[in-house]
Amino acid sequence: MLEIYVSDEIQQAGSKLVGRIKPVDNICDDCWINMYAPTEDEISKVANALKIPTEFIRYPLDEEERPRIDSDDDTGDVLVIVDIPFPKKENNDVIKYETAPLGIIISKKTIVTVSMRKATMLDQFIDNRVRDMIVSYRTRFTIQILFAVAKDYLKFLRFIDRNVDGAEKGLAASISNSDLYKMLQLGKSLVYFSTSLKSNEAVLEKLMRGRTVKQYDEDEDLLEDVIIEYKQAHEMADIYATIVNGTMDAYASIINNNMNVIMKILAAATICLTIPTVFTSFFGQNCPMPWDVEFASNPWAFITLTLVSIVSIAISFFIMKKKKMF
């Protein structure tokens, strides 16, 4: 998919210029080209029109591409790759979160965003919901995109926190496989987030040094705010991951303890039921016993045997109870 936008209605607001963007049909100077899941024809069209390396467009389409900054010495174009979060719904209605690369190509006269999946966080730019947005200010526009990515991480981290609380309440009521699976998926999501945020921080630190992308004085404060947002998101991801791992370990211990209690009860019950079996087994033997005739002719024989069995079970239960086996 190929989308092209340009700034429109640029006005002076105090000491700042503010504007809106609108879609256009053709590539032109000072435009923003948004590409997601592009075809080979779209890749060739943009690369030829802007005279940028084709690899700069293909790198972000690799799901395993690491966040980094790259530049082309011949053209002066700069490629910034960061990981952005995506929610993914499983078949059992469990939502997990993954990350995928987003490439930002800063050329001399245009800016290009490339991703394999549609980056929904860019919709706020398309819908003109971002203040002080001018496409021709490519450095500032890049920092604003990075700021929107950080906000997306924070938003999804709050969702994860609420899901963790809900799963904990479900597990507190009764330990079920669905709640444990939900906690497992949330833990995996936090691992993805933590790793991606750490890599994105390294990219921002490199941007802060200003050797690759030219910066202006008014952009430094915004970039510092973006770095603070990423550090906050990284810390939140680490804290939530620790909580989820601790919760999973605690419930694993609870499950093991419950299993041990059940096995102990079954063993104690087996011991209690074994004792009356010893008495009744005497009368099931094939060889004659000395008391067979007298005992068999006694009308209280069956009742006596039953009472002995009940008393033996009661004594065994009392002993087991004293030893806290029940």
pLDDT tens profile 248-289: 888 778 778 878 878 877 777 777 777 667 766 666 655 555
Q: 224, 255, 286: which is the final residue of a domain?
A: 255
The first and second tokens of residue 103, run together, are 């490439």
Handedness of CA 189, 161, 93, 85 (dihedral sign): negative
H helix count then E strand count, the chain: 8, 7
Asked if 149 and 102 count as a contact pair (C-beta separation under 8 A), the reply is: yes
Q: 255, 276, 310: which is the final residue of a domain?
A: 255
The first and second tokens of residue 106, run together, are 């800063």
Short-list 112, 109, 99, 130, CA closest to 33: 112
pLDDT value of residue 286: 59
Same domain assignment for residues 168 and 181:
yes
- The Cα–Cα gap between 133 and 83 comes to 22
Kindly report the backbone phi and psi dihedral angles of residue 292, in degrees, each rounded to the nearest multiple of 5, phi listed first. Answer: -60, -45
Short-list 206, 246, 8, 281, CA closest to 126: 8
Q: Could you read off the pLDDT of 96-133 as tens digits, one per residue?
A: 899 999 999 999 889 999 999 999 999 999 988 887 78
Helices 138-173 and 217-281: angle between axes, nearest 10 degrees: 20
Same domain assignment for residues 162 and 96:
yes
Same domain assignment for residues 81 and 204:
yes
pLDDT value of residue 92: 66
Low-confidence ranges of the chain (pLDDT < 50): none
Same domain assignment for residues 250 and 294:
no
pLDDT value of residue 46: 94
Q: 255, 281, 311: which is the final residue of a domain?
A: 255
Same domain assignment for residues 169 and 293:
no
DSSP-derived letter for residue 66 is P
pTM of the model: 0.80
Same domain assignment for residues 70 and 121:
yes
The first and second tokens of residue 186, run together, are 């949330």
Geometric angle at alpha carbon 220, from 73 and 215, rounded to 5°: 25
Domain extent, residue 19, equals 2-255
Number of domains in the chain: 2
Instruction: Kindly report the length of the chain.
Output: 326
pLDDT value of residue 295: 57
Would you call 130 helix, strand, or coil by DSSP?
coil
Same domain assignment for residues 304 and 264:
yes
Element (H, E) at 34: strand 31-36
- The Cα–Cα gap between 313 and 306 comes to 11
pLDDT value of residue 75: 85
- The Cα–Cα gap between 223 and 254 comes to 47
